[in-house]
Amino acid sequence: MKILKYLLLPIIVISFAGCLYKPLNINENNKNTRVGIVSIVDGKMDLEFIGTTMFQNKFNTQNIENWDIPNFLIQSTKKELIEKSELTIIDINYDINQLKKKAYTNDKLGYFSGYYPNEDLKKDLKILINNNKLDYLIVIFPSISNGIELYKRDFLGNGFSIFKFYYSLKLIDKKDLDVKTQYFIEHKENISNSYWKEDQEEFNKEILGVLESTTKNNIKKKIHIPLEKMGLIIK
């Protein structure tokens, strides 16, 4: 079941990768448009090892809370909006753990479990929007389980390793709390198989440092892509 879930997930992500939404129109009259940003991203990295046989398959997580990815996503998004738009960006305080708890949807089959703008979450988002007098709220969700993953495929001692992350930026409207537009920031690259051995439960600081730098550098490089696709910044 879990293997099938991982096979289906990329298809699901691609299917909804902004194709159902149109970008907003940028105009000169949006200086008074107030926008806030929250990040509902967990401090974990998924570890997926696929061996020669199904009995060798392993799924685990690595704690990466010290990377502070939720805040890094917010600050990177904020920087782009300030530099390349006329929007007024509002800093807001919120309880990330409460939002994550509300946002998590548990599908019994496991295919669609994850973080979504469900009705329970929208109640909290409405409070944030009203308290901060926002016109829009950008909510950043993980698009694959915890949003970041280290994957290794091994076959008779040979194989490959991939490091990737997928995050979804959704623009919530103050009027009806619907998602007005969304797009994804993503990155995937092949890495050395030596990063992760089959029996490895924890990673050393050097390897984690490399992966942290890779993640943050690519967020900084690519955060403009979803914002441009959503029509929030000018190219």
- 51 within 8 A of 154, measured Cβ to Cβ: yes
- Strand bridging mode 148-155 / 179-191: unpaired
- 147 within 8 A of 167, measured Cβ to Cβ: yes
CB burial string 121-133: b at 16+ within 10 A, e below = bbebbeebbeebe
Question: Model's pTM, two decimal places?
Answer: 0.83
Domain boundary assignment for the chain:
2-20+29-229
Question: What's residue 113's pLDDT?
Answer: 60
Mean pLDDT confidence for 60-80: 95
Tell me the pLDDT tens digit for each residue of 122-133. 999 999 999 999
Question: What's residue 202's pLDDT?
Answer: 64
Taking the C-alpha atoms of residue 76 and residue 231, their distance in angstroms, rounded to an integer, is: 17
Tell me the pLDDT tens digit for each residue of 130-164. 999 999 999 999 987 789 998 888 787 778 889 99
Mean pLDDT confidence for 57-61: 84
